[in-house]
């Protein structure tokens, strides 16, 4: 399965198959299932205890052979109370077990899915899909649990209740049972049809909720622009439309739901009337007693509840199954970049040598971004990779850090094919600083410690000092312990990148990959940082994906990528000698804007 289909719903799989797949992936769900079912069965028997007691009480006690006998009624009541106590206890145990088992199993699924998503490259390749992936470990799983507990218990109890009720009914009178079932047939048919309409109506509600959220998000994220251009009227008109359309959809869904629900109500009335008429006729013929007929009237009311509940929960069930399917689809997806694990090798100690052998790469279904790249980067070298946007330089970085695997050829680090390197060894020795310098909601110290949880505050202060950032960090309101805010938003873009760089620095990698990591820092800060980085990169291999040619100028060697191929390489000074070359043109454009 490719990443392209990860978030697309596969609606075609039958629900039962999804449930089977789900159970196969969560064997915990079956823990003690037999016991739970047994408890459920006993607790269901409680539902028919009262009608049976009514029948026994009337036929054996009130209208018994020797006339009214309160003692017999007392006996019947006593026995039934005992039964009820038992079934109530069983009901409690059943719900408890069900909750414990389902919550435990789904917590497992949640954690596993989360962990699995981190292994999938879709996460960092398709940013727009992240929201959908978050729903896989939140809303979708909530839907499954909610269904298992609300719908599942209800469905289990009510369908069991239906079966038990029918059995008791059959014991009393097969004719009346038939009459009852016939009375419900039209309702079942109508309800089934309503279910489809209901699913459609709720689908519209969800979709319009999405539209509304998008409109609200737009008005919030674009608040500055909306104000600056004085176009609040236009935006509020759009919001009002979204609000009203959602309300209309909600009303429509409710109307459909109530209509379906009412059908069950009508069926119950019909069944009650029919049972009375046919029951009396049967009684006249001596086929049924007063107690049995009375019990039947009680049983019919037991019959209607499951039908009505089923109307409501089946819709929920469909949503839950769809959610489950989406979760399973994510879990079923093989990570495109797999850890060789125990079978793999560790990188040899010391600085890393990089070798690309006829490496090519194309995004699935997309154009080729790199083709036939052959190159070696000797240990200790600081290399800058330059090229225009879309030339393939970012792909180069991703292949180097094994965020992706090449389509053709291979990448070797210190002679070891990258695909053979254990992740533990790879991530310890190769560190990349991504473009956006993402920070977690915590303090500056916590973010740096993300790379090395064992570092103390003094170590961190030392690291900031070594990078010439001691002044900057002490200038923060709470120094190292300044909260950076959600996504680091309490810091400026440039400051975030500073923290990201220190984080990479303390990781102490042998191969450092910088992906335009300093693009949002002002030139003076960048140069200052660059100079410090120059010092710390000594002794390790560094590959910088350069946005500004200042990076290239300070590198030992420049690799020029154009249209997926390496077109030039060599020291900056050498490359600028040919002004007509790709690098020559890039350089003159750079000069134009900096001088």
Partner 1 sequence: MPSRTSRDVLARGLWVLGQAIRTEPRRFLIGAVGSVLFGLLIIGNAFVIGNLVGRVVVPSIEQRRAEWDLLLAAAAILLGISLLRVLSIFGRRLGAGYMQFHLQARYRRAVTRRYLALPPAWHRRHATGTLLSNANSDVEAAFYPIAPLPFAVGTLVMLVAAVGSLFATDWVLALVGVALFPSLFTLNVVYSRRMAPRQIRAQQLRARVSAIAHESFDGALVVKTMGREAAEGERFAAEVRELRDALISVGRLRGAFDPVMDALPSLGTLAVLLLGAWRLGTGHITVGELVSVAFLFTVLAFPVRAIGWVVAELPRSVAGWDRVQAVLSATGDMTYGDAEPAAATGPAALAFDRVSFAYEGGREVLHDVSFTVAPGRTVALVGPTGSGKSTIAALAVRLVDPATGTVRLDGADARTLSAAALARTAAFVPQVPFVFDDTVRANLTLDRPGVGEDEARAALELAQADAFVDKLPDGLDTAVGERGTSLSGGQRQRLTLARALAGSPRLLVLDDATSAVDPRVESAILAGLRGGAGTSILVVAYRRATIALADQVVYVEHGRVVATGTHRELLASTPGYTALVTAYERAEAEREREHAYDEEVPA
Site for partner 1, residues 296 to 325, rule: CB under 8 A: 297-298, 301, 305
Q: Which is nearer to partner 1, 250 or 368 (CB)?
A: 250
Beta strands at 541-545 and 511-515: parallel, antiparallel or unpaired: parallel
Radius of gyration of the chain (CA): 35
Q: Which is nearer to partner 1, 310 or 439 (CB)?
A: 439
Binding mask 561-590 for partner 1 (x = CB under 8 A): ----------------------------xx
Residue 82 sits in the site that holds partner 1 (CB under 8 A): no
Judged by CB under 8 A, the number of residues near partner 1 is: 169
Counting Cα atoms < 13 Å in the Cβ hemisphere of 398 gives 20
Q: Which is nearer to partner 1, 269 or 456 (CB)?
A: 269
Min dist CB 439 to partner 1, Å, is: 8
Min dist CB 179 to partner 1, Å, is: 12
| Binder among 8, 170, 171, 223 for partner 1 (CB under 8 A) | 223
Min dist CB 9 to partner 1, Å, is: 19
List phi, psi (to 5°) of 483.
Answer: -70, 140
Min dist CB 333 to partner 1, Å, is: 15
Q: Which is nearer to partner 1, 342 or 389 (CB)?
A: 389
Q: List the beta bridge partners of residue 385.
A: 545, 559
Residue 342 sits in the site that holds partner 1 (CB under 8 A): no
| Binder among 10, 227, 358, 481 for partner 1 (CB under 8 A) | 227
The rounded distance, in Å, linking the Cα atoms of 465 and 1 is: 48
Residue 376 sits in the site that holds partner 1 (CB under 8 A): no
Binding mask 110-149 for partner 1 (x = CB under 8 A): xx--xx-xxx---xx---x-x--xx--xx---x--x---x
Helices (H) and strands (E) in the chain, counts: 21, 10
Cα–chain-centroid distance for residue 370?
A: 32
Q: Which is nearer to partner 1, 240 or 332 (CB)?
A: 240
| Binder among 424, 481, 539, 577 for partner 1 (CB under 8 A) | 424
| Binder among 218, 346, 357, 508 for partner 1 (CB under 8 A) | 218
Burial (CB count <10 Å: 0-12, 13-18, 19+), residue 495: buried
Q: Which is nearer to partner 1, 250 or 371 (CB)?
A: 250
Cα–chain-centroid distance for residue 14?
A: 21
Min dist CB 244 to partner 1, Å, is: 6
Tokens matching residue 35: 């016991």
Which candidate, 494, 499, 487, 500, places its Cα nearest to that of 440? 487
Q: Strands, E, within 15-128: which ranges?
A: none
Q: Which is nearer to partner 1, 374 or 489 (CB)?
A: 489
Residue 415 sits in the site that holds partner 1 (CB under 8 A): no
Binding mask 240-269 for partner 1 (x = CB under 8 A): x--xx-xx--xx--xx-xx--xx--xx-xx
Min dist CB 12 to partner 1, Å, is: 27
Give, as ranges, the residues between 487 and 506 that touch partner 1 (CB under 8 A): 487, 492-495, 500, 503
Which candidate, 545, 552, 548, 546, places its Cα nearest to that of 575? 552
Whose tokens are 């009203």? That residue is 244
Give, as ranges, the residues between 506 and 565 that touch partner 1 (CB under 8 A): 507, 513, 520-527, 530-531, 548, 550, 553-554
Min dist CB 414 to partner 1, Å, is: 18
Min dist CB 433 to partner 1, Å, is: 8
Instruction: Give the three-state DSSP class for 547.
Output: coil
| Region of 30-38, 196-204, 279-287, 377-385 interacting with partner 1 (CB under 8 A) | 279-287
Give, as ranges, the residues between 88 and 117 that touch partner 1 (CB under 8 A): 88-96, 98-100, 103-104, 106-107, 110-111, 114-115, 117
Q: Which is nearer to partner 1, 312 or 461 (CB)?
A: 312
Give, as ranges, the residues between 186 and 215 that touch partner 1 (CB under 8 A): 209, 212-214
Binding mask 431-450 for partner 1 (x = CB under 8 A): xx-x---xxxx--------x
List phi, psi (to 5°) of 409.
Answer: 75, -175
CB–CB of 432/513 below 8 Å?
Answer: yes
Q: What is the 3-state secondary structure (H, E, C) of 477-501?
A: CCHHHCECCHHHCCCCHHHHHHHHH
Q: Which residues contact 269 (CB under 8 A, 6 or more apart)?
A: none
List phi, psi (to 5°) of 9.
Answer: -75, 135
Residue 182 sits in the site that holds partner 1 (CB under 8 A): no
Residue 482 sits in the site that holds partner 1 (CB under 8 A): no
Q: Which is nearer to partner 1, 174 or 229 (CB)?
A: 229
Residue 384 sits in the site that holds partner 1 (CB under 8 A): no
Q: List the beta bridge partners of residue 544.
A: 384, 514
List phi, psi (to 5°) of 127.
Answer: -60, -35
Which candidate, 103, 82, 83, places its Cα nearest to that of 29? 103
| Binder among 270, 413, 484, 576 for partner 1 (CB under 8 A) | 270
The rounded distance, in Å, linking the Cα atoms of 311 and 341 is: 50
Tokens matching residue 490: 């309490």
* DSSP string of 404-436, one letter each residue: S--SEEEEEETTEEGGGB-HHHHHHHEEEE-TT
Give, as ranges, the residues between 9 and 68 that touch partner 1 (CB under 8 A): 43, 46-47, 49-50, 53-54, 57-58, 61-62, 68
- Dihedral of CA 554/558/563/564: which sign? negative
Residue 5 sits in the site that holds partner 1 (CB under 8 A): no
| CB neighbourhood size of 584 (10 A) | 16
CB–CB of 555/569 below 8 Å?
Answer: no
Q: Which is nearer to partner 1, 299 or 377 (CB)?
A: 299
Q: Which is nearer to partner 1, 255 or 577 (CB)?
A: 255
Counting Cα atoms < 13 Å in the Cβ hemisphere of 528 gives 15
């Amino acid at each position: 399965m490719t990443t392209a289909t990860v978030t697309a719903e596969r609606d075609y799989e039958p629900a039962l198959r999804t449930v089977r797949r789900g159970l196969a992936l969560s064997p915990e769900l079956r823990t003690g299932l037999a016991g739970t079912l047994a408890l459920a069965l006993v607790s269901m028997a409680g539902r028919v205890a009262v009608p049976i007691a009514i029948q026994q009480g009337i036929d054996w006690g009130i209208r018994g052979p020797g006339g009214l006998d309160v003692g017999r009624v007392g006996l019947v009541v006593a026995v039934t109370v005992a039964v009820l106590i038992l079934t109530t206890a069983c009901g409690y145990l059943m719900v408890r077990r069900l909750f414990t088992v389902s919550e435990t199993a789904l917590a497992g699924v949640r954690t596993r899915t989360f962990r699995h998503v981190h292994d999938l490259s879709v996460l960092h390749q398709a940013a727009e899909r992240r929201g959908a992936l978050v729903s896989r470990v939140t809303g979708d799983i909530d839907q499954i649990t909610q269904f298992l507990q609300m719908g599942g218990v209800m469905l289990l109890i009510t369908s069991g209740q239906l079966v038990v009720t029918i059995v008791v009914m059959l014991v009393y009178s097969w004719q009346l049972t038939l009459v009852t079932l016939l009375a419900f047939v039209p309702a079942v048919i109508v309800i089934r049809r309503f279910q489809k309409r209901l699913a459609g109506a709720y689908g519209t509600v969800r979709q319009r909720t999405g539209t509304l959220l998008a409109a609200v998000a737009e008005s919030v994220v674009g608040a500055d622009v909306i104000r600056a251009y004085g176009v609040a009227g236009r935006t509020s008109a759009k919001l009002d439309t979204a609000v009203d359309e959602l309300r209309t959809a909600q009303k429509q869904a409710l109307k459909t739901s109530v209509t379906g629900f009412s059908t069950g109500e009508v069926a119950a009335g019909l069944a009650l009337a029919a049972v009375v008429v046919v029951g009396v006729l049967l009684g006249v013929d001596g086929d049924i007693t007063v107690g049995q007929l009375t019990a039947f009237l009680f049983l019919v009311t037991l019959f209607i509840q499951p039908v009505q509940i089923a109307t409501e929960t089946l819709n929920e069930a469909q949503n839950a199954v769809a959610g489950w399917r989406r979760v399973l689809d994510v879990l079923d997806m093989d990570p495109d970049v797999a850890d060789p694990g125990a079978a793999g090798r560790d990188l040899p100690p010391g600085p890393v040598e990089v070798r690309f052998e006829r490496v090519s790469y194309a995004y699935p279904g997309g154009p080729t971004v790199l083709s036939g790249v052959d190159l070696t980067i000797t240990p200790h070298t600081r290399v800058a990779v330059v090229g225009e946007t879309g030339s393939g330089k970012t792909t180069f970085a991703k292949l180097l850090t094994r965020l992706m695997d090449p389509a053709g050829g291979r990448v070797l680090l210190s002679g070891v094919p990258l695909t053979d390197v254990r992740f533990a060894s790879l991530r310890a020795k190769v560190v990349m600083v991504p473009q956006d310098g993402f920070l977690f909601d915590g303090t500056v110290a916590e973010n740096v410690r993300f790379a090395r949880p064992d570092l103390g505050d003094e170590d961190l202060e030392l690291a900031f000092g070594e990078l010439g950032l001691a002044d900057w960090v002490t200038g923060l309101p709470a120094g190292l312990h300044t909260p950076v805010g959600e996504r680091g938003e309490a810091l400026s873009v440039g400051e975030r990148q500073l923290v990201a760089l220190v984080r990479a620095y303390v990781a102490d990698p042998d191969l450092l990959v910088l992906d335009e990591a300093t693009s949002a820092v002002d030139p003076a800060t960048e140069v200052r940082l660059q100079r410090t980085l120059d010092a710390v990169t000594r002794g390790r291999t560094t590959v910088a994906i350069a946005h500004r040619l200042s990076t290239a100028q300070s590198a030992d060697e420049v690799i020029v990528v154009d249209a997926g191929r390496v077109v030039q390489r060599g020291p900056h000074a050498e490359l600028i000698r040919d002004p007509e070359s790709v690098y020559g043109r890039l350089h003159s454009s750079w000069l134009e804007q900096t001088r």
